[in-house]
Amino acid sequence: MHQDVYNKSFWLDLEPIADSKANRILPWVGVGISYNFTQHFSSSLEVIHLQGISPIGNIEMIGLGISYAF
């Protein structure tokens, strides 16, 4: 995981400057389910949690997918 935190002054029209940067290897845990409606059409649902370590916080993601195979 790589994170840049920016502090921008909007009234000076300056480019944002990275106040802090962090690089960490973080554990990634997830569960998912997939269902085939037909031979060609399926959908999936997944939930992923990325355990943060200071200064990077926790991240939760939910994914919904629809697939069609030719």
What is the C-alpha to C-alpha distance for residues 26 and 20, in angstroms, rounded to an integer? 18
pTM of the model: 0.56
What is the C-alpha to C-alpha distance for residues 18 and 8, in angstroms, rounded to an integer? 9
Q: Which residue has the tokens 């959908």?
A: 43
Total structural domains within the chain: 1
How does pLDDT run along the chain (70 residues), one tens digit per residue?
Answer: 777 776 655 556 666 555 677 777 778 899 999 999 999 999 999 999 988 776 677 888 999 999 999 9
Reference 54, options 17, 19, 3, 18; nearest CA is 3
Q: Where in the sequence is the domain holding 53, given as residue range(s)?
A: 2-68
What is the C-alpha to C-alpha distance for residues 28 and 1, in angstroms, rounded to an integer? 10
What is the C-alpha to C-alpha distance for residues 66 and 55, in angstroms, rounded to an integer? 35
| Residue 10: per-residue pLDDT | 55
